Amino acid sequence: MRILLTGGTGFIGSHFLKQALAKKYSVVALRRSPQSKPRISIDREPEWLDRHLDEVTKADIAGCDVVVHLAAHSVQHPFDNLTTCLYWNTTAALHLFEQARLAGVKHYVVAGSCFEYGLSADRFETIPTDAPLEPNNSYAVSKAVTSIVLLQWACEHKLSIELLRIFHVFGEGESKTRFWPSLRRAALSGKSFSMTLGQQMRDFLPVEDVAQIFIRRAILDQLYNQRYKVFNIGTGSPCTLLAFAKYWWGFWKAEGKLLIGDIPYRENEIMRYVPGEELLLTDKATIYT
């Protein structure tokens, strides 16, 4: 099994690399430059390919069996402008996929985002995979467009593709400005932590489990048959942001206080992102109460 991985130095990609290499899979991993390093330490190095998505050629991909696409542009607030997001998340990705097709790759596993559902998410207790895509920021719009484009591309060329829409992933290597790392930093330093009222309902995914799921989907032999499928990825154990924060605050034995309601919700905050229907459960789920 030889895997072409995009986003190899990113948050999820770093964990994918660590696990895939530990299992002795051959991985060709894309990175922008030799200066780009994985977010976590890895025991072995993949075969690095120093390219942007729009620079990859079919010769670079020759001999690969599957493409695992984890690369994404401007994944957190504040988001880049729509034109740039569409170029890197859609146009450049399609270029790479077309080069992979010309190189003979027939199987593709693609990271989608729960944010593609956008405003429609609040209308569902659990979001089905055929829920309307109503994204409400430039990044989410570009991811939704990419989903539609790549599914159609695979259909036209009779290739196998799985689109895995990830919900709220957290863990080691996550950007330090995001919620879980910010919460941990405050807890371990003995400081108090300001947050919203925390009534947002989320399904929190450990990054190690997300990486494991992508590896499993990449290596399933039966997927080499023509197949176009969308999955939501979650634990099946949603909770409020407040419950999540209280669990980890206690886990770290924090001496400071959670300053609940100290900051307002973001403008146009989606209060409920809970996956349903085609749910790929992780092996274990922590119940936050």
pLDDT of residue 227: 78
Alpha carbons 114 and 186: distance in angstroms, whole number? 27
126 and 256 in a single domain? The answer is: no
Domain residues for the domain of 241 are 174-202+237-272
The string of DSSP letters for 113-159 reads: EGGGTBGGGGG-SSB-TTS--B--SHHHHHHHHHHHHHHHHHHHHT-
Domain count, the chain: 2
Q: Do 41 and 129 share a domain, yes or no?
A: yes
Is residue 69 a part of any domain in this protein?
A: yes
Q: What is the CATH number of the domain that holds 56?
A: 3.40.50.720
pLDDT at site 282: 60
In whole angstroms, give the CA distance from residue 41 to residue 144: 32
In a domain? residue 125: yes
Instruction: Give whole-number Cα distances, 106 to 88, 99, 109, in Å.
Output: 22, 12, 11
> Is position 281 within any domain?
no
Q: Are residues 192 and 139 part of one domain?
A: no
* 208, 250: one domain: no
Residue 219: DSSP 8-state: H
Let me know if residue 162 belongs to a domain: yes
Please answer whether residues 136 and 191 qualify as being in contact, where contact means their C-beta atoms are separated by less than 8 angstroms: no
Q: Do 67 and 158 share a structural domain?
A: yes
Adjacent-strand bridge partners of 280: 233
Mean pLDDT, consecutive 10-residue segments, the chain of 289 residues? Answer: 96 98 97 94 96 98 97 93 98 98 96 97 94 97 98 95 96 97 98 98 96 92 70 93 98 98 94 82 63
